[in-house]
Structure 1
């Protein structure tokens, strides 16, 4: 929308309660489990733990892998399971404990991804440990193999859960998630779908034997797309859990307390030529959610909680702008704009079906990267990116959702093409009430086209403000190219790879959630108030109204 266009009216009815506000974004994850207890990892976990909306659940890969227990890009290990020279199992929970204890210390909770295969437990038909002296083959694919002995895998999982119960108590561990594996429909699993289902049977039985009230689920497949292995995996997995022959117990079906799959808005690979590519698309994640829901409903599991255990604009967290220049969007205000739009539409999709859908952002931090490398991360060298400020906004939202309608709302599933190229940018959002009388209105201005520019004037009209309020204090927070955006300041400072001293201080000073204007008082007349403000494309505003006491 260009300057001079008619203002976009956004109406909020504070008296029309829609029900509890689902803070369904309180999940995050990353490949490198050992990054959890690095200084940068702990600082970021402390940030999320301090939000105090509700605990963030944290999922990490490689929790059972074999190695030196030191995290590197897309790798981690704990040595939880080894075998002595006679082949007897050796269990060591030292590193697993350090990871889980760190999460709990910072007020987070484990979303335990049970995987991947320990070196000594991998099936020799897929991986020959004896000839892999330097563990190169294990790092390449050995960790993705089925077990040589499913009963030993069962015992490993059982002992892990029991150890956690003995260390943290039944009541605490019952609040955790136990999810098997990650994306078995692609290279993360070198076995067949039948072998994966067999693995789930043994895993679920082990979890429940160790703690009957524990929550176990899966299958954590990639975007469910009709005609692709992801949808077939999800379909066959759910059918088996409903009534297939259980390989572990010999009974019918398998325990399933929650369903998981992944949704990504796009995909990027290394490209030294840095050729332009299409941006992510909200429509793509909605298409995947539609297929996922249809399969869940087909097998009668629509009443279960469903966690999109990776929900992101794209699918390569460790890649950066130096690998593919298109990934630079993760440094900018586009990243939170996309996430705000995607989460908004996925939530509306789920609400229309009374479906409990939750979203996990596969983003964290990377040790040793250049400043604003362009990886999918919440911070870079300890400096918050604009995306973290969106979650700071989310944390301020209240517990009751109230009605919000926008003249510029869009329906991505109706777009003629996935990117909505012919569509105007969307202005939409959510409004909430808190127990202390605060009203929060989050408004985003999004288009999938990361080159789209322009500005809209938002005419926000709020009705049915609580009767006792005569005046409200307005605090207007903003994310855009000039606010809550350390990347913009990094550019001004000459794009330093490793900023130090005063230069780093200046960049970091722009990394917090900033106000668009100083706090001010607005009058309430007959239970209504109104404010107008400009909002650039890919900008997000959070307006906080508090009664003047």
Structure 2
């Protein structure tokens, strides 16, 4: 899967991984991983082993991508032992259950550890290469991933920043990597505390005022689907996700960091629970279908609009995985299942084909924010888990671009939050600024229920959990990016215009390319 992304036209992609610093048996599970990068000998001296860290980073780099290094969590021998009291755990491993979430027993030792990691990265990969990466501290320290206080987290950031930049002064380090910025709640509280600390607080590592911050990161989600075998219908909310982006950008600007890069909405997804699937909550069914593709394209396009208004980059990162040995299409949040590509990956494939020169695109099919707020009772309060999407508008919009050799691309999407809305509408696409009387070769690729959709073929095969060889071949063949119709020639008018008409289902993505003949 990494290689698939690495081969896309706009690679490299940045790849983010949890549990880089944890101790264990060095095999991965859905909710825990380990590298054994750090432990202490019988005399308390640090011992470092970079074997597994190097394997992870090498794999990302060799696939044509770049690491987005999450500096977490706490190595076992660095974790504060005074916090390791969880009587309810019984015979379970207290470190694996929660010890990795603890603050360090000694911030100076944690500082030396981060400095050693930075020295290793600089020596192995070179400072010039590492300066192209992103580094963030921890993951979602406003919830159970962090057992310390907000003040403890700010202290950890101070020591981390000093240690990393002492070795790699041009490395990019960001935070606080909190959960959604809602109208109230832990994510907003931590963001406020952290930004104030970095701007005007006393740096616990240097005792000076303020702490360097290269970018800000937080997470945005469109829904929360808890484990519930009898869940009533619920869907993700594009409007709620976008509200979180706007709220975060406004907070950052108000704190005096307006114009600072927001990387990464370092988890920007329709929902919260990646490892859950359709057997945990039937509402996760959308993840295997064209709905996931249209939701992502719609949300990302609106994030791009916010970035223009904000005046600085806002980069979304899809927090999706691969789960080996799972049954076929179980609706986990993945780009592929049993090595069969899902429609959502084809959406990224389409995005990768857009040229680097933006062209203006306007649409009369955009959403009404007031209507979205009316439909979603949880709007701005929390990640919704009982929003049905009934009555939600169908949004039609997209991007237009041109590449360096003159090809024009138009990427359009149609999306409605209601997964059961299945209508079709006629799209009229008006092109202006073409060469007068010039002929163009047009190609039209499509993602919908019947195009670029291995899931639909899997349904036709009878939903096999583990397809036979022949079934598998037919399902996998359906993963390819499909053309809606054969390539055709269109002619611009004497004033350089052209008008196209075609039908588009409620949940669909189209990519049209135009080459001069």
TM above 0.5? yes
Paired position in structure 2 for 1:531:
500
Q: Distance in 1 between matches of 2:84 and 2:435?
A: 66
Q: Distance in 2 between matches of 1:278 and 1:381?
A: 27
Quick one: structure 1 residues 116 and 413, their matched pair in 2 at CA, closer, same or farther if it must change by over 3 Å?
Answer: farther
Is residue 71 of structure 1 aligned with residue 28 of structure 2?
yes
1:294 to 250, 254, 268: 250
Paired position in structure 2 for 1:480:
448
Quick one: structure 1 residues 301 and 517, their matched pair in 2 at CA, closer, same or farther if it must change by over 3 Å?
Answer: same
Paired position in structure 2 for 1:141:
98
Is residue 448 of structure 1 aligned with residue 448 of structure 2?
no
Paired position in structure 1 for 2:430:
461
Report deviation, 1:53: 1.2
Report deviation, 1:511: 0.6
DSSP 3-state at the match of 2:219? strand
For 1:500-524, what per-residue CA distance to the aligned partner results, in whole angstroms no more than 9, with x for missing partners?
3111110000012111111111112
DSSP 3-state at the match of 1:458? strand
Q: Distance in 2 between matches of 1:133 and 1:214?
A: 43
1:282 to 227, 234, 238: 238
DSSP 3-state at the match of 1:367? coil
Q: Is the 8 A contact 1:287 1:413 kept in 2?
A: no
Structure 1 residues 227-238: aligned runs within 5 Å: 227-238=184-195
Q: Is the 8 A contact 1:263 1:310 kept in 2?
A: yes
Q: Distance in 2 between matches of 1:238 and 1:511?
A: 44
Q: Is the 8 A contact 1:430 1:442 kept in 2?
A: yes
Paired position in structure 1 for 2:464:
496
Report deviation, 1:134: 7.6
Q: Is the 8 A contact 1:183 1:219 kept in 2?
A: yes
Report deviation, 1:355: 2.8
Paired position in structure 1 for 2:383:
none
Structure 1, unpaired ranges of 5+: 1-43
DSSP 3-state at the match of 1:541? strand
Structure 1 residues 393-472: aligned runs within 5 Å: 393-412=350-369, 415=372, 416-418=374-376, 421-466=390-435, 470-472=438-440
Q: Is the 8 A contact 1:402 1:433 kept in 2?
A: yes
Q: Which of the pair has the greater relative contact order for Cα pairs under 8 Å at 6+ separation?
A: 1
Structure 1 residues 247-326: aligned runs within 5 Å: 247-273=204-230, 275-307=231-263, 308-326=265-283
The range that moved more, 470-479 or 308-317, is 470-479
Is residue 542 of structure 1 aligned with residue 500 of structure 2?
no
Q: Distance in 1 between matches of 2:370 and 2:288?
A: 27
Structure 1 residues 27-38: aligned runs within 5 Å: none
Q: Distance in 1 between matches of 2:392 and 2:99?
A: 47
Paired position in structure 2 for 1:243:
200
Q: Distance in 2 between matches of 1:451 and 1:88?
A: 60
Q: Distance in 1 between matches of 2:504 and 2:215?
A: 39
Q: Is the 8 A contact 2:11 2:64 kept in 1?
A: no
- Aligned residue pairs total 502
Paired position in structure 2 for 1:203:
160
Paired position in structure 1 for 2:137:
180
Paired position in structure 1 for 2:481:
513
Paired position in structure 1 for 2:308:
351
Quick one: structure 1 residues 411 and 347, their matched pair in 2 at CA, closer, same or farther if it must change by over 3 Å?
Answer: farther
Paired position in structure 2 for 1:85:
42
Structure 1 residues 22-171: aligned runs within 5 Å: 44-127=1-84, 136-171=93-128
Q: Distance in 1 between matches of 2:442 and 2:421?
A: 29
Report deviation, 1:140: 1.2
Q: Is the 8 A contact 1:385 1:487 kept in 2?
A: yes
For 1:100-150, what per-residue CA distance to the aligned partner results, in whole angstroms no more than 9, with x for missing partners?
011111111111000001111111121269x99986221211111111111
